[in-house]
Amino acid sequence: MKTTKETILKESFKLFLAKGYDGTSVPDIERAAKITRGAIFHHFANKEDIFKQSADYFVLSFLEEVNYGEEYLNSATPLKAFMGKSLKIIEARMEKFLQKTTEKITPASFMSFTLYLKDHYEGWQEKAIEYEKLKIENWERAINLAKEKNEIRPDTNTTLLASTFHNLYMGLSYGGALVDKLSIPELQRLWDYVYQQQTIK
């Protein structure tokens, strides 16, 4: 059961995605959440506070660090296993996003919202950089293990390969949002191609 604060955050987030920050008013939030203004300001200082907390609640939770499990650590092909697990996590994350919003909200709206945060949420850039760092580190861990187990060439540049996998995902996410949404099969196809270039023949 949602709390009043969660209801306000969810409805506000949907409005910010659909109409932008400037296009969303407090009366809009009142109507969407079916909550009085007094109840809104009981939980939040102002519209900016709602905006920042909705970003923390939805965007950061969408990007938050996840548990990749230990299966890939024990696999004879840890990088291949890590790729498969990552694809499942991305797909589940996309489904969760659609469930939390509505069919009217598109991935493009989400991308636009995250870009807006860069210039309108102090400290957001640092959070984004930390997210990127953690993702690259996870890839590097899997790649180094793959080198140890002779899954891929020992002379593979770990950092470069990790960045390639991650940047392919980010690029397809933004590119896919322009048309519809990220294509999991296309991401898998590109990851598999990069992977095949590094395996020991």
pLDDT in tens, 129-147: 888 888 899 999 999 999 9
pLDDT at 179 over 80: no
pLDDT at 1 over 70: no
Tokens 């989400």 locate to 110
- Going from the C-alpha of 176 to that of each of 79, 130, 161, 190, the distances in angstroms are 25, 24, 22, 14
Q: Can you give the pLDDT at residue 100? A: 62
Q: What is the pLDDT of residues 39-91, one digit of tens each?
A: 999 999 999 999 999 888 877 766 665 677 778 888 999 999 999 999 998 88
Q: Can you give the pLDDT at residue 55? A: 86
Helix, strand and coil content of the chain, in percent to the nearest 5, comes to 75, 0, 25
Q: Can you give the pLDDT at residue 28? A: 95
pLDDT at 24 over 70: yes
Determine how many CB atoms are found less than 10 A away from the CB of residue 112.
Answer: 15
Tokens 């899954």 locate to 151
Q: Can you give the pLDDT at residue 62? A: 63
The mean pLDDT of 7-17, rounded to a whole number, is 89
Q: Can you give the pLDDT at residue 142? A: 95
DSSP 8-class letter at 25: -
Q: Can you give the pLDDT at residue 128? A: 82
**Residues in Cβ contact with 103 at an 8 Å cutoff, skipping those fewer than 6 apart:** none
pTM exceeds 0.85, yes or no: no
Q: What is the pLDDT of residues 93-132, one digit of tens each?
A: 777 766 665 556 676 777 778 888 888 888 888 888 888 8
Tokens of 130: 């930390």
- Show the domains of the chain with their CATH numbers: 4-55 (1.10.10.60), 66-198 (no CATH)
Q: Can you give the pLDDT at residue 144? A: 97
Q: Can you give the pLDDT at residue 64? A: 63
CA torsion, ordered 69, 70, 73, 78, to nearest 10 deg:
-40
Residue 168 banded pLDDT, cuts 50, 70, 90: very high
Q: Can you give the pLDDT at residue 109? A: 76
- 169: enclosing H helix or E strand: helix 158-179
Q: How far is CA 189 from the centre of its chain?
A: 20
Distance CA 10, CA 72 (A): 35
What are the beta bridge partners of residue 152?
199
